[in-house]
């Protein structure tokens, strides 16, 4: 008899465990703590343990929850072969990015999953998502992943692209690691372990994201700098371009004031190439860093991590340009 992988299923809430209590709105329910009741038979393949951390809509989660999750993984890591984290879809990409940086040298799977429909509903995507996530958590992949709608993704590369589809997530510039269809198909090789294992949960919350509009002049960035932010992610147009009247000068004022500025793109796919056009070139000249092919969520979390670790100036730029967790620099 083969031994079953030991998998700890950690529930944090989300639609998966919700019920419709008051007319109209879904709300966290007692189902969240009893999810394994709905996946009978799974324990023939996986040695399951369960732990309920909290029961929240993921819109109410943030850096303190990322920290608690990272600490739980560190605490239980040696007693299980992998983890499943049941999580709302709204901020799953943020938590996955945060854990991918916090869990340095991770040597076993941490798989986040959730659902578009509650597990207690007959026609729900929750059951296959939980079952396949638990199987993936037993597959030895040393990464933080997101499993959703038949795909196992690198966690820090996903973004929620659909509110209605059972394929809620995409990984715009990175192939999924596995497809769990009729067959289990390996697509992208997982990363090698970069040990030793170490947890670092410092996140600077004093970071903002700003979206330039056509015809805007960078005043929104000045206002954030005046408010005392330490870092700003600017969601530039296309390859990293910005209105030339105002934005490069506002970025120069921000960086001179010691505020880190990162450029990401309003486009979903493709690697940033800010110097390709004059507005972006001047933004880089003014000190803006490039998010490469990172998602907006991952680019923002990485800035929170770098600043949280006390990095500034050239040190922050080197940290930001380094490939830490396959995030798409």
Please report, as ranges, the residues that interact with ligand ASP according to CB under 6 A. 13-15, 57-59, 88-90, 114, 116
Cα–Cα distance, 302 to 262 (Å, whole number):
10
Q: Which of 95, 113, 159, 160 is catalytic?
A: 160
Task: Indicate which residue of 89, 95, 201, 295 is catalytic.
Answer: 89
Least separation, in Å, of the C-beta of 171 and ligand ASP? 18
- Are 287 and 316 contacting, i.e. CB atoms less than 8 angstroms apart? no
- Give residue for tokens 């879809």: 89
In the three-class reduction of DSSP (H, G, I as helix; E, B as strand; rest coil), residue 72 is classed as helix
Q: Are 268 and 172 in contact (CB under 8 A)?
A: yes
Q: 73 is written with which tokens?
A: 């993984």
Q: How far is the CB of 53 from ligand ASP (least distance, A)?
A: 14
Q: Is 89 a catalytic residue?
A: yes
* Closer residue to ligand ASP in complex, CB, 14/128: 14
Q: Please pick, among 12, 15, 113, 159, the residue that the annotation labels catalytic.
A: 15
Cβ distance to ligand ASP smaller for residue 15 or 156: 15
Q: Is the peptide bond before 209 cis (omega within 30 degrees of 0)?
A: no
Could you confirm whether 37 is annotated as catalytic? no
Q: How far apart are CA 203 and CA 197, in angstroms?
A: 18
Beta-carbon count within 10 A of 68 CB: 16
| Closer residue to ligand ASP in complex, CB, 30/219 | 30
The residue of the chain with the least Cβ separation from ligand ASP equals 88
Smallest distance from ligand ASP to CB 109, Å: 21
CB of 57 to ligand ASP, least distance (A): 4
Q: Give yes or no for a contact between 124 and 118, defined as CB atoms under 8 angstroms apart.
A: yes
Q: Which residues are catalytic?
A: 15, 89-90, 160
């Amino acid at each position: 008899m083969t031994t079953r992988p030991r998998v700890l299923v950690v529930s944090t809430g989300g639609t998966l465990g919700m019920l419709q209590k008051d007319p109209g709105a879904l709300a966290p329910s007692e189902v969240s703590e009893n999810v394994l009741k709905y996946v009978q038979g799974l324990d023939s393949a996986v040695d399951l343990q369960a732990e309920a951390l909290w029961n929240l809509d993921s819109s109410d989660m943030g850096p303190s929850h990322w920290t608690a999750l990272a600490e739980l993984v560190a605490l239980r890591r040696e007693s299980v072969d992998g983890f499943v984290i049941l999580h709302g879809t709204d901020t799953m990409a943020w938590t996955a990015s945060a854990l991918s940086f916090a869990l340095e040298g991770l040597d076993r799977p941490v798989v986040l999953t959730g659902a578009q429909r509650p597990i207690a509903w007959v026609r729900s995507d929750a059951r296959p998502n939980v079952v396949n996530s638990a199987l993936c958590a037993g597959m030895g992949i040393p990464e933080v992943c997101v499993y959703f709608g038949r795909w196992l993704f690198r966690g820090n590369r996903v973004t929620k692209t659909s509110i209605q589809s059972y394929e809620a997530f995409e990984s715009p510039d990175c192939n999924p690691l596995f497809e769990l269809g009729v067959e289990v198909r390996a697509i992208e090789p997982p990363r090698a372990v970069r040990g030793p294992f170490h947890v670092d949960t410092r996140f600077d919350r004093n970071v903002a994201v700003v979206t330039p509009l056509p015809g805007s002049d960078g005043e929104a960035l000045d206002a954030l700098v005046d408010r005392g932010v330490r870092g700003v992610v600017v969601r530039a147009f296309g390859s990293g371009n910005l209105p030339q009247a105002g934005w490069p000068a506002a970025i120069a004022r921000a960086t001179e004031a010691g505020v880190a500025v990162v450029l990401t793109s309003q486009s979903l796919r493709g690697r940033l190439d800010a110097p390709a056009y004059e507005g972006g070139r001047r933004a880089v000249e003014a000190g803006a860093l490039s998010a490469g092919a990172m998602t907006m969520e991952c680019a923002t979390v990485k800035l929170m991590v770098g600043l949280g670790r006390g990095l500034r100036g050239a040190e922050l730029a080197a940290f930001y340009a380094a490939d830490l967790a396959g995030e798409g620099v």
